[in-house]
Every structure is written in C-alpha cells, then in structure tokens.
Amino acid sequence: MKGLSAYAVRRIAIIFPLLLGVSIILFALISLMPGDAVDLMVSPDLGADQAELRRIRLGLDQPIYVRYIRWMGQLLTGNLGYSTTTRLPVAESIVERLGPTLLLMGLALAISVVGGVLLGTVSALKQRTVTDHVATLGAFAGVCIPNFFLALCGIYVFSVILGWLPSSGMRTPGIPFSLVDRLMRLIMPVAVLSLESIAIFTRYMRSSMLEVIHADYVRTARAKGLAERSVVYKHALRNALLPIVTVLGLRLRWLFGGSVIIEKVFSWPGIGRLMVDSVFTRDTGVVMGIVMISALLVMLGNLLADLAYAVVDPRIRYG
Amino acid sequence: MNTLLVKRHRIIVAALIMMLVFALALSACGPADEDPDPVTPDPADPTDEDPVAGGTANLALWSDPNTFIEYFSLGNHAIAPARLIYSSLMRRDVDGEFVPDLANSWEVSDDALEFTFYLNPDATFHDGQPVTAHDVKFTFEAIASADWQGSRTSDMMFIAGAEAYHAGDADSIEGIQIPDDHTLVLTLEQVYAPFLERIYFMSILPEHLLGDEDVALLDETDFAMRNPVGSGAFELSEYRTGEYIELTAHEDFHLEGPHLDSVIIYILDQEVGIAQLETGELDGILSHYAAGISPDYVDRLQALPHIEMDMPAGGSMRKIVVNHDRAPMNDARFRQALSHAFDREGFVAAVLRGYGAPATAPLAPGNPFLHEMDYHPYDPDRARELLEDMDYDFDQTLLFLTSDSEERQQIAELAQEWWGEIGVKIEIQMFDFPTMLGLITDGEYDLGALGYTTPTGEPDAVFTSTLHSSDASPAGWNFSRVRIPEIDSLLDKARVEADFDARRAHYVELQQILPEHTPEIYLAVGKAISARNVRLQNAEDHLFYRTQNPHEWRIVE
C-alpha cells in the first residue's frame, strides 16, 4: 500500500503549515479585539501606573508581531505560556480540563454511533413500518430540540422534581473515588449530548443501508442461498458502515471542542467552558493554547479517519 | 488473490484496533485522579456549649476565583473565598461597629494620625505558626512596594514613609512600628479620615511563607494559585477548578468558633444554582455585591418556606457615563436635560422589579453620608427647554455603548425611547464587557451604561475615583472625564477632615451641587439580592455584615 503511506506522510507534513496559519489568524483576531486582560483588572484600587506595570509584565505593551514571535518562540520550546488571569501554566490548565471533556464527549459519541447504527439498520430493514416512522420522528426530535433546553428540562424533571439525579458537577466533593457517583453525574449530560448526534447517525445509516440492500451484490448473495442474517451482517452492514466512518471523522472536532453550553449548565469542568471564559477575560495565552491543541487533535483525528476509510474500503485509492 | 485478501484483512484489523485503542484511551482518559486525602475535621470541642455544632454549608459562586489572594482578584469572585480563609485586623457587626478579629483592641490618637493595634496572641495560621505584627507589616509593605502586582497600593500611601518605600528610597515603611510582637503602631502622613475603614478588612498574609518570595511574582506562587494559608476560620482542603472549593474548619481559630465542620463552594451557573437552592441542595450564594441573584428570580424564591431572602441596601448603582471630552456632553444643560428625561421610577419598577430606588448620588441608601434630596424629577418639558436654551443640534445622533448584560441593554433601550421623546437621538452599540470597557477607557464613546458597587460607608473612594479630575480615564475610573474644580476642591477638603460632622458637611455640599453639574447620570441603586436556606444561621447579608463572620455560621436542621 505504497500510495497510502505516501498519502499519510503528505497529510502529516501539511499539518505544520496549517497550524502556523491557524495560529497567525487566531492571534491577530484576539489582538484586534478592543480591551485586553489588564483593562478588565482596572478597579478603583488599581491605579493607572500599576495597570501599566502589569501590562509590561504580561508583555501586553509590545506590538502585536513581537508578542506573536515571543509566543511562537515559547511554543517551539514546548511551553504554551501562562494564563494572564490565573498565572497558571496553560498546558496544566488544558490537561486538567481536557480529560473531563473527552470523557463526556467520548461517551456521548460512542453511544450516538452505536445507537445510530442500530436504529438506522432497524429502520432500513423495516422500512415504512411503524418502527421506521417512530425511529425517524425520534431522530428529527433529537436534532430539532435545542440541547440547552433539553438540559434544563432534564435538570428540572430529574433533579428538582424527582430528585433522582444530581443536577451538576462531575463528582461529589470530599469523598474518595466512587464509580456510582461519577456515573450518576454522567447520565444527564451524556444523554442530552447523545440525543442530538444519534439523529445524525441514524439518518445516515438508514439511507446508506437502504442503498446497499437494493444493490446487486446483495441480491446475488440472496440468490446464492445465504441466510438472511448472513446477508445483512456480513455483506450489507459492513458496506453500509462506510459513510458512517466519514461522518465520524467530521464529528471528531466535537470531541475536543466540548459543548460549552452543556458544560456550563452542568458545571462540568471541561475545556469548552474554559475556552469561553478565557475569551471573555481576554486571556490570550489560554485561548491560543486551547485552539492550537484542538486544531492539532482534529487534524490528526481526521487523518486517522481518512486512513481507516481507505483501509476499510478497497475502492479508495489516494493518488 | 488469497494473499492479498489476507494482507488486507490484517491491515483492516490493525487499523480498527488502532482506532479502538485511540477511542478507548480518549474516553477512558478521565481526569487525573489522586484520591483526595480524606480530611477529617476535628469534631467540635466538647467543652463548647453550642447546642448545635458541625455540619457543612454548601454555597455557590458563579465563576472560579482567579486567585486565592484577594489583592490579585479580577472581578469580585476571588474576594468571597478569601474572607473565609484569611483574617484581617477587624470586622464589622450588624450595626457597622468595628469588632475584633486579629486586633483585640485599638486606639486612635487625638490628632488622628496614630493608630495602635493590640493583636490577639492566640491567633495562628493554618499551619500552626502564630500571627504577629510582623505579618501585618509584611503584608502592608508588600502592597506598598513598587513591585506589587495587585490592588490597594494607594491605600498604603497614606502611611508615613510609604511613598519613600515605594520609590525605593527606604528599606521599610517608617510609619509602621512594632514595639513588640503583638503590638502594631501605624502613623499617617497626614489626616485621612477613612483610613480605618479602608484597611480594617485587608487579608493578612503569612510572612514566614511568603517573606522570601519576589514580591513581583507573588501572584504566581503556588500559595496564591492553589494552596493559600491564612489565619481565618476555614482552611483550604481541596480545590477543583470549575467544580468546587472545599474548606474545612480551622481548629485553632482565635475567635469563638467556627461552628461548622466545613464549607463547600460550588462553581455553578446561576440557573442551576437557583434550582439547587429550591431543592435545598444549596444553602446560599457567595457571589455578593452586584453579582448576586437577578431580580427575576426573587418571586420564585421568596415563595419557598425554606428560603430566606436578604436584600441589604448596598447594591449596585446603575448609571450612565457621559463623555465630557466631547460636545454636547460637555454642556451641563445637556446633561441635566438627559437626566430630566429619564424616568427613574419607571426604570426601578420595570427593570429592577421594584428592588431598588432612584439614585441621586453613588451611595447606598442608609449610608451616613447620603444627603436625602430629590433632584431632576422626570420632566420631559423641562428637558426640552434646556435643549432649546443651548441650541441643541437635533440632527445629530450620539453613540451609546452598552454591554451584553440584559439589564444594560434594557437601560440603553429605555434611554433611546425616553430621550427620543425630547428629540435626542442615540445609536446603541452593544459589546461584551471587556470591549465596552476598553472603548470607554479610550474615550471612544458619547454615552454608556455602567454600574458600580455602592459603598455603605466611606464615600471617599467612590467619589474620588469617579468624579475627581486626577482620576480621569484612562488614568482611573473617572470614565466620564469629569473635570469640575468645585467638585475637586470639595473632595480634597473632605478627605483630610477628621471630624465626622465637618466631613459630612463637605459631602452634603458636594451632593447639593450635583444637580447643577450632573457630572454623570445616576439612575438607581438596586438592592443586592441574596438568598439563604434557613438552616444556615447567622449568615444574613446586612449592610455591613456580608461575609464578615463565617466563624459564627451554624447549621440548624
């Protein structure tokens, strides 16, 4: 598979200039926003001289290209810089927050894929029956209802009225690690997040499956006398899964970006929330760090998806 | 053909395994989990006569504190936790009287220049080290230092010798003397009447832990970022960013108490926090001053039997800043006209839901320096008269800045409507708060909607910072760029007047000339709204009381 490895190498090589471009555009955009981190620190207790001193210390008094070069220089030595608000190393903050986000989004994605594939397959096989219609309607509902609305409804019903589930937070403070505690707190946010994605995978799977089932080779397999089960699972399903791999690749950025709204509503200490808070406090260091890492992970993820796709579908040839 | 298939299968399997491993690694990559040391707070001293002791208070903050040393705080969120972790020289009781904290007693000399504090010898930091006058001196000198990156330096400059220390001409501040470990004598450069009020509540930092650190880098220490050590009623036991701050009782606290075993501060969204107040999961809100509870939730919460609302008068003042550097804002008649044309009563009723009162000065109702008076009643006719008098150009459109807070948008819209009726056209531009503040600081605006926490005590800070010409933006918080000599001179006189009545007379005079000058358009003072579960006792938010006495809080089931 010489073509494939060469393709992979080319894709990896392109990541660097892409990241460079992203960093320049992002840095420019943030710097062009009026107001910087020190403006927010202004209070009657902080005089103008001290504000200026702080600006100098944070390096915010330098012109934009100097600041960018300084940041880039730090990055090349593996240092993502420091948060202008908490003074903590950016890398530390990101690592702290990335885990919870990946946990949440990873679970939601896994459930959506599995659920979507199952629902889509059933829907396709039982096309035009009640089952199909119910599944389709459910899918549309999942896509149409805004996730924050679902989240707040969920909290109201399951926490306030019924008292079954905790309404926020990733863990209960002060107690040693409890799997039950963690799972209870995962149920609502994961459910809300899955519901919107499941719809997408269901629809794709359904149409893909329908297309495959009516294909010639499936008819051939049936004609050969193979059991229906074998036809569906061994032949139809595997081929119908191909578009799912593509969609999965597209959803990867979702995995690393987190859902700001869900994280905020459920007080989930994730990276989406950190990102938004940092933008509002003009915390350039953190924003740059998060975006660069997310960009890198997304590019790598997409590459993996593309490679997997090529491996799985022998018709694909990367030139 | 067969070999090709087998090869392809192996690659497929390898790729799928890779993806599976990748996916598993990611989804199993939960937060790094070191089991927290189970902190067992000591049970309440059995010799205490409290009928109820122990328990945990669950409070909420709307946002993470960015630091644990309040002087480096951005916004108010770092201040509230600091009040539980640190002690200060004094506190205040319900009536606003100073009561002992680190200082058992204090004396002021007749000439109002010398302050002597006798410190409690039993006070200790959370690590067991005693608190002495050296810690206070260390704290004040750090703040006064030219390398200090935080706030309050200007308050230290009133101490004799502080200017010299700040300039690097002296090794220590002359005006801070320590006759013995538990006695502190502060001498002022000149009379500054509000001095005690400005410094009584300042957190005292431990010299033995921070004394060797570079003052310029104090906000980057592990102490400030993660592991503060104070002498307050509660010590930090666990902090998970974005989730919660767990504080446990300081066993050797020098005042009576604390009665609670622990306090857990959750970082929550306001909606969720209100829901948790309703279910009883949460005992109260720690976000204070302007960042309390929105008036929209009051009715819902008040109806619940287990919730008690606190609405102390010192809340946030809503005002409209006016750029004096531009015409026609620099004409007092124009400012008066705008003031007459704004229906303050209507605003309080509609936007604040009645939880507030029209404002004539940036002081909270109940402030001893507030001069009760009516000025600029809602009178569009008078407003039009003033505009005619000054030959106002009705064709112009002025720029009105507002932030993305819903209330400020409403202020902007009301202004547009009411001022539109007298012929003043404004264009509203909305930005997120830092952007808006940046534009206002740079003077790129005509009018803007802002708020300010109103003091319940000493008015000097708020008046000077917002109205004195020396604090005109971008130097300070005088965003309107007010440069009115009569105002400056009254403020300067009041600041150095030690006698309360004489000082009050100056501030009254100042308030009396405000209508004529209308430096800014004060709209209303909203009430600070906070809510508490009734099981949390002694935690009422009073005018002077807010978070002053965490050691007295109790849980009563």
- A:25-44 residues touching chain B, CB 8 A cutoff: 33-36, 39-44
Determine the residue of chain B that is closest to A175 in CA distance: B38
**Burial bucket for residue A200 (CB in 10 Å: 0-12, 13-18, 19+):** buried
Q: What pLDDT is recorded for position B18? A: 64
Q: Is the pLDDT of residue B544 over 70?
A: no
Q: Is A213 exposed, middle or buried (0-12, 13-18, 19+ CB in 10 A)?
A: buried
B152's torsion region: left (phi>0), alpha (psi -120 to 50) or beta?
Answer: left
8 A C-beta contact, residue B546 and residue B313:
no
Rounded mean pLDDT, A84-90: 83
**Which of B11, B29, B74 is facing A281, going by the closest CB pair?**
B74
List CB contacts (< 8 A) between B241 and chain A. 93, 96-97, 269
A177: chain B residues, CB-CB within 8 Å: 33, 35
Dump pLDDT digits (tens) for B206-263. Answer: 999 999 999 988 988 999 989 999 999 999 999 988 889 999 999 999 998 899 999 9
The question of ipTM being above 0.90 is answered as no
pLDDT at B51 over 80: no
- Contact yes or no for B262 and A174 at CB 8 A: yes
Residues of chain B in contact with residue A44, where contact means CB-CB under 8 angstroms, are: 461-462, 465, 476-477
Checking if the pLDDT of A276 tops 80, the result is yes
Which residues does residue B37 pair with via DSSP β-bridges, in sequence order? none
Report the alpha-carbon distance of residue B207 to residue B120 in Å, rounded.
17
Q: How confident is the model at residue B340 (pLDDT cuts 50, 70, 90)?
A: very high
B318 DSSP β-pair partners? B451, B524
Which position has the token pair 């209100």?
B274
**Is the backbone of residue B554 left (phi > 0), alpha (psi -120 to 50) or beta?**
beta
Asked if A174 lies within 8 A of B474 by C-beta distance, the reply is: no
Banded pLDDT at A67 (limits 50, 70, 90): confident
SS3 per residue for A192-209: HHHHHHHHHHHHHHHHHH
| Chain B residues closer than 8 Å to A168 by CB | 266, 268-269, 272, 276
Specify the pLDDT at position B258.
Answer: 92
Distances (CA, A) of A104 to A38, A194, B63, B514: 34, 10, 21, 56
The answer to whether A256 faces chain B, any CB pair under 8 Å, is no
Measured CA to CA, the distance from residue A198 to residue A204 in angstroms comes to 10
Q: Considering only CB atoms, which chain A residues are within 8 Å of B465? A: 44
- Backbone dihedral region of B54: left (phi > 0), alpha (psi from -120 to 50 degrees) or beta? left
Average pLDDT over chain B, rounded to whole?
Answer: 84
Strands (DSSP E) along B36-159, which ranges? 56-61, 90-92, 98-100, 103-108, 114-119
Give the count of beta carbons closer than 10 Å to the beta carbon of residue A149: 11
Residues near B200 by beta carbon (within 8 Å), at least 6 away in sequence? B88, B89, B90, B91, B92, B98
Compute CA A208 distance to the chain's CA centroid, rounded to the nearest angstrom. 24
Of residues B205, B254, B252, the one with CA closest to residue B228: B205
Q: Give whole-number Cα distances, A30 to A36, A68, A283, A286, B432, in Å.
A: 9, 11, 9, 11, 14
**For chain B, percent of residues with pLDDT exceeding 90:** 43
**Strand order in B183-187's β-sheet?**
B103-108, B114-119, B183-187, B176-180
CB atoms within 10 A of CB A217: 12
Q: Residue holding tokens 């750029």?
A: B323
**Residue A158 DSSP one-character state:** I
Residue B382's pLDDT is 92
Q: Which residue has the tokens 């067991």?
A: B128
> What is the reported pTM?
0.79
Q: What letter represents residue A89's amino acid? A: P
pLDDT score of B116:
95
Per-residue pLDDT tens for B184-210?
999 999 888 888 888 998 999 999 999
What's CA A6's distance to the chain center, in Å?
28
- B140 contacts B176 by C-beta, under 8 angstroms: yes
Report the candidate in B276, B236, B235 with the shortest Cα–Cα distance to residue B61: B276
Look up residue A234 and give its two tokens.
């061994």
Q: Does A303 touch chain B (CB under 8 A)?
A: no
Mean pLDDT value of segment B277-295: 76
10 Å Cβ neighbour count for B505? Answer: 16
- Whether B557 has a pLDDT exceeding 90, the answer reads no
Q: What residues does B453 pair with on adjacent strands?
A: B316
The reported pLDDT for the residue numbered B65 is 86
